[in-house]
Amino acid sequence: MAELKETKKARGGLRIALISLVAVGIAITGAGCNILPAETAPGAGSQGTESAGATAAPSTVQATPATTDMTPATGTEAFNPATEVSAMVTNGTVAKAVLEEKATGTPVAGELVVSGRKWISKEPLKFGTDYILSITSEDAGGNKNTSHSAFSTVAASHEADAWVYPAADSTVGVAQPLEFNFSEPVVNKEAVEKAITITTSTGQKGAFRWYSDTMVRYRAETYWPANSKLTVNMALFGTDIGNGMIYNANRAYGVNIGNKVVMEADATNKFVNIFVNDQLSKTFPASMGSETFPSASGFMVLTADKQRHATFKASTIGLKPGDPGDYGSVDVEYATRLSNSGIFIHEATAFAIPYLGITNLSHGCIGLSHEGAGWVFENMRPGDLVHTVGTPNDTILPTDGFGDWNFAFADYASR
């Protein structure tokens, strides 16, 4: 019992001491006209042993400095203008980004991604141009830092271009291959093929065939469907075609396919039948290549070269004055070209007109009457097909005009 009484007494003394300490605190702070509430007064909590005027040190966190990685790095030369320019900030965000041409200050558009930590360009660059990329980063503590990358793109002398036949939005026949001619030799042919997509409104597939390092063609296994449409998408910008040459543009365009028009030319029976959408439309008597100069056999495609009045010269097919068959020069009407080597459908000369359907007298061309040659001139278009039979001659070379249909598709598609 004695021990218990002492304990109570001690607790009573502690209570008196605390009350006294609070009173002293009020007297001190009251002098400054700043009376603290009891619950916040020094000594009200477990830290009551601290002096009345003590202040705790502020708690601060040192921010990790932001760093910026830029592509391309400063000093880069011959940067591919199709490649994305980017900047990635670690331990911070992109506060400001500017990509501009050094000479003109023309800006290049871009956008922030990855929660504001990365900037990427959204426009293609120009060939042969100096650029400056400036990135201002900001870390968690609000500290900012600006980094720069100065670089140049591939020189204009390393641009590669291409020309395509037929032209955009033109209408051609069902047998017209697509032809792509490049300004520079293509080493990376597979990369070029992957970058060119040809789709048809009917879903028809085809294949490429390279005839040289600068020319490739594309045709389907069978003729394009009549009155369909081809869409050509050349996503070639930035493609390295080889030897340091970079393709300079993306292009997309459409080609319309007209009616299916096919001429069957029979050198044995000396006439031509013309079918429109598989229905016989016209029959004309003809005079084709003589025994000395037989017409080419197989398949040919009408080209875009049509001449209402034409002058043919024997020298263009290798004949010289005094050679057997030399005819000097002769004027003809309604000339429609089939080959680069000089095969035409045309109105027969006045000398040959009486022999149409009877004797083959030409140097390889298909001679028709005024009516027949005029009908072909006015109604057949580039890409329409001519199939010649009954002649001992070989087919034309595939690049002597469009001899692509003289290949089986499996052979055409093979490299």
CATH number at residue 176: 2.60.40.3710
Say if 186 falls within a structural domain.
yes
Residues 238 and 147 both lie in one domain: no
Which of 340, 357, 347, 400 has its CA nearest to residue 378?
A: 347
Which residue segment(s) compose the domain that 212 sits in? 158-257
Predicted pLDDT at 292:
87
Whether residue 294 is preceded by a cis peptide bond, meaning omega within 30 degrees of 0, is no
Dist. CA 238–CA 209, nearest whole Å = 22
Dist. CA 213–CA 401, nearest whole Å = 18
Predicted pLDDT at 318:
73
Torsion (CA) 136, 139, 140, 141 in degrees, nearest 10: -90
| Secondary structure class of 80 (helix, strand, coil) | coil
Positions of the chain with pLDDT under 70: 1-61, 325-326, 328, 415
Dist. CA 331–CA 328, nearest whole Å = 11
Predicted pLDDT at 363:
86
Q: Where in the sequence numbering do the catalytic residues fall?
A: 346, 365
Q: Give the pairing of strands 171-172 and 251-257.
A: parallel
281 backbone dihedrals φ, ψ, rounded to 5°: -110, -45
- Number of domains observed in the structure of the chain: 3
Return the residue matching tokens 């075609």: 241
Residues 78 and 121 both lie in one domain: yes
How is residue 6 annotated by DSSP? H
Predicted pLDDT at 7:
36
Predicted pLDDT at 48:
38
Residues 302 and 354 both lie in one domain: yes
Number of Cβ within 10 Å of residue 181's Cβ equals 14
Dist. CA 303–CA 340, nearest whole Å = 9
Predicted pLDDT at 34:
37
Residues 170 and 246 both lie in one domain: yes
DSSP lists the bridge partners of residue 247 as: 160
Residues 237 and 114 both lie in one domain: no
Amino acid occupying residue 407: F
* Strand arrangement, sheet containing 171-172: 171-172, 251-257, 229-234, 196-200
Say if 132 falls within a structural domain.
yes
Last residue of a domain, one of 124, 154, 184: 154
Predicted pLDDT at 329:
74
Dist. CA 215–CA 368, nearest whole Å = 34
Last residue of a domain, one of 104, 119, 154: 154
Say if 139 falls within a structural domain.
yes
Residues 112 and 246 both lie in one domain: no
User: How many helices (H) and strands (E) are present in the chain, helices listed first?
Assistant: 4, 27
Dist. CA 340–CA 363, nearest whole Å = 15
Say if 10 falls within a structural domain.
no
